Amino acid sequence: MRGYAAVLRAEMVPDSAPERVLHRLGFRTEDVRLIVLSHFHADHVATLCRFPKARVLARRDVFERIRACSPARNLRHGIFTELLPPDLAGRLIDVQARPVVHAGPPLDEGRDLLGDGSLLAIDLPGHADGHFGLCFPKLPTPLLYAVDAQWLLRAAFEQRVPGFPASLVAEKPGQLAHSARLLTAFRDAGGHVMLCHDPDPAPFDLREPSA
């Protein structure tokens, strides 16, 4: 974990800890029943153990590949299996078993995660094995949360592939450009795109607590 943190300068901001964020919304981590896991990088699974009652929507094929890999190979791709809850296999719901639905141009198709067409998993390859984003097609302005398909929206829209150190972690750097083109096409079609690590404010950010 220290190696990953050192390379990508990852750190947990206290006010962003899941307990604090949920408390501000009136919930506890035990109240969370469903988590969507877009990929298995350390910074996306580091707090999974704090949600003991949640089912986890994720790619079972990727999870099995990770379990079969050597620690050294996983480490090269930013994956630390010791961060995963020991009972994850039993709580995992396979995204690939969800129905395929038409997602509309430019996304073509996605996996209907909730069964009502409100939340679709969209393949965004390149960043990590099986990496997918989330489309909310029924919002007044459809939203594509593209997670780690790119680091910065500006770079994605300019079709720039991530530089070092993000490129170091990328599973298939050659596919990052394809995913970036999809983000740009979604925006050009009138949709809203968000990324996980872009520091610019986004309309769905929670407001910081007032001092």
Question: Which residue's CB comes closest to Zn ion?
Answer: 41
Q: 115 or 174: whose CB is closer to Zn ion?
A: 174
Nearer to Zn ion, 13 or 211 (CB): 13
Nearer to Zn ion among residue 118 and residue 167 (C-beta):
167
> Binding of Zn ion at residue 148 (CB under 5 A)?
yes
Of residues 142 and 156, the one with the C-beta less far from Zn ion = 156
Minimal distance, residue 44 CB to Zn ion, in Å: 6
Q: Which stretch binds Zn ion (CB under 5 A): 95-103, 141-149, 176-184, 187-195?
A: 141-149
Q: Encoding tokens for residue 95?
A: 């995204």
Residues 6+ apart with CB under 8 A from 18: 29, 47, 50, 51
Beta-carbon contacts of 98 under 8 Å, excluding residues fewer than 6 positions away, are 57, 111, 112, 113, 121
Nearer CB in complex with Zn ion: 41/111? 41
Closest separation between CB of residue 128 and Zn ion, Å? Answer: 5
Is there binding between residue 59 and Zn ion (CB under 5 A)? Answer: no
Mind giving me the DSSP string for 84-144? S-TTHHHHEEEGGGSPEEEEETTTEEEEESSSSSS-EEEE-TTSSTT-EEEEETTSSS-EE
The CA-CA-CA angle for residues 55, 53, 28, to 5°, reads 120
8-47: which residues touch Zn ion (CB under 5 A)? 41
Q: What is the contact surface with Zn ion in residues (CB under 5 A)?
A: 41, 148
